[in-house]
């Protein structure tokens, strides 16, 4: 069986991180590597453009998944080579879905997301208590604490995949729950697509800390508030306004365009753009995000 090439196309629209999907949001663009493809990336680009009409720019390999079906043998192992691409939505394109539609607990900027985490923790504590041994119960509780930031550990926004896999193991998501069982809110996906999406979310959240990749998700000019909201949307956490602006200034990432936003009320908001050096994707020094405490 040839490997399958699968693409996670991420954009931000109206301060919402979006992912390009197929089949009503159930699938990600994908297709098998064929003999006529000169390379993995060539095959990926051809499949994505054929299925979505969206031409890819820069892509990076994300992860290779090689899981055998529960009832299958080694010859039936499904190998998926996943790629991450940052892009922008285009007028009239269909298939874009908010990534928090799939992982609502990952949005810690919203009261609903924080309340959902509290509910999840209660369900997982009950699941942990059902382990057959005391040692097993303690191991489960430690995993819950680590992945959901309990016992003073703090929320780690990069643990998207670990949280999803823990919920999968606890049968709290549709992909693993028995028929008719109660599951958490969040759109399900076919096959392992939601697992692939979780991996892409974690990768992007990590990258914005050490590479100025956020510029690939921004328009050519923007306000500082728009930039902050985009970073908050991707990280899923609120930022300290003044500390965020101080960090941006210290990094020398942006420059003024000399223009102001036409649609702001009150004092006109200055427009900025990323400096040309940033477009070369240089590393960011001292890039700890200025996270705010949830309110």
Q: Phi first, then psi: what are they for 79, rounded to 5°?
A: -105, 120
Looking at per-residue pLDDT, the higher value among 155 and 74 belongs to 155
Radius of gyration, CA atoms only, the chain: 21
Q: Phi first, then psi: what are they for 190, rounded to 5°?
A: -75, 155
- Among the listed residues 221, 214, 203, the one whose alpha carbon sits nearest the alpha carbon of residue 279: 214
Please report which confidence band the pLDDT of residue 37 belongs to, taking 50, 70 and 90 as the band edges.
Answer: confident
Report pLDDT for 248: 85
Please report which confidence band the pLDDT of residue 120 belongs to, taking 50, 70 and 90 as the band edges.
Answer: very high
How many CB atoms neighbour CB 246 within 10 A? 12
Delineate the domains of the chain, giving CATH numbers in brackets. Answer: 4-99 (3.90.79.10), 104-185 (no CATH), 208-281 (1.10.10.10)
The per-residue pLDDT of the chain, averaged, comes to 89
Report pLDDT for 295: 41
Q: Tell me: the pLDDT tens digits for 186-218?
A: 999 998 899 999 999 999 999 988 787 888 899
Please report which confidence band the pLDDT of residue 258 belongs to, taking 50, 70 and 90 as the band edges.
Answer: very high
Q: Does 287 have pLDDT greater than 60? A: no
Residues, the chain, total?
295
Report pLDDT for 294: 47
Residues 19/97, Cβ–Cβ less than 8 Å: yes
Round to whole Å and give the CA distance between 95 and 204: 20
Round to whole Å and give the CA distance between 229 and 71: 45
User: What DSSP letter does each residue of 76-144 carry, written as one string?
Assistant: G-EEEEEEEEE----TT---EEEGGGT-GGG-TTSHHHHHHHHHHHHHHHHHHHTSSSHHHHHHHHHHH
What is the DSSP pairing of strand 78-86 with strand 4-13?
parallel
- Distances from the Cα of 89 to the Cαs of 106, 124, 215, in angstroms? 22, 37, 14
Residues 81/66, Cβ–Cβ less than 8 Å: no
HSE-CB for 10 with a 13 A CA cutoff = 33
Report pLDDT for 278: 65
User: What DSSP letter does each residue of 126-171 carry, written as one string?
Assistant: HHHHTSSSHHHHHHHHHHHHHHHTTTTT---TT-HHHHHHHHHHTT
Round to whole Å and give the CA distance between 107 and 148: 13
Q: Does 263 have pLDDT greater than 80? A: no
Which uninterrupted H or E stretch holds 234? helix 224-235
Q: Does 98 have pLDDT greater than 90? A: yes
Round to whole Å and give the CA distance between 204 and 184: 24
How many CB atoms neighbour CB 2 within 10 A? 12
Q: Does 97 have pLDDT greater than 90? A: yes
Round to whole Å and give the CA distance between 158 and 147: 10
Q: Tell me: the pLDDT tens digits for 226-256?
A: 999 999 999 999 999 998 888 888 888 889 9
Q: What is the pTM of this model?
A: 0.90
Q: Does 18 have pLDDT greater than 80? A: yes
Q: Which two tokens stand for residue 12?
A: 């931000």
Looking at per-residue pLDDT, the higher value among 127 and 93 belongs to 127
């Amino acid at each position: 069986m040839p490997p399958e090439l699968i693409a996670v196309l991420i954009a931000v629209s109206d301060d919402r991180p979006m992912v390009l999907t197929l089949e009503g949001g159930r699938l990600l663009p994908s297709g098998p590597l064929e003999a006529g493809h000169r390379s993995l990336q060539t095959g990926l680009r051809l499949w994505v453009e054929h299925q979505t009409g969206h031409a890819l720019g820069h892509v990076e390999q994300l992860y290779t998944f090689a899981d055998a079906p529960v009832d299958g043998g080694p010859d039936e192992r499904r190998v998926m080579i996943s790629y991450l691409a940052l892009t922008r939505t285009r007028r009239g394109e269909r298939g874009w879905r908010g990534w928090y539609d799939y992982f609502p607990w990952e949005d810690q900027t919203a009261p609903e997301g924080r309340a959902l985490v509290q509910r999840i923790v209660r369900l997982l504590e009950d699941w942990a208590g059902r382990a057959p041994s005391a040692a097993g119960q303690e191991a489960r509780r430690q995993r819950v604490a680590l992945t959901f930031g309990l016992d003073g550990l703090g929320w780690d926004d990069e643990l998207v995949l670990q949280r999803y896999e823990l919920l999968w193991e606890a049968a709290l998501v549709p992909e693993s729950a028995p028929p008719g069982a109660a599951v958490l809110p969040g759109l399900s996906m076919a096959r392992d697509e939601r697992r692939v999406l979780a991996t892409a979310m974690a990768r992007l959240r990590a990258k914005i800390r050490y590479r100025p990749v956020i510029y690939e998700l921004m328009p050519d000019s923007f306000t500082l508030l728009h930039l902050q909201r985009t970073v908050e949307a991707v990280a899923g956490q609120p930022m300290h306004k003044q500390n965020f602006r101080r960090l941006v200034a210290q990094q020398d990432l942006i420059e003024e365009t000399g223009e102001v936003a036409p649609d702001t009320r009150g004092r006109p908001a200055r427009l900025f753009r990323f400096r040309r050096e940033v477009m070369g994707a240089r590393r960011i020094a001292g890039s700890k995000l200025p996270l705010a405490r949830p309110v």
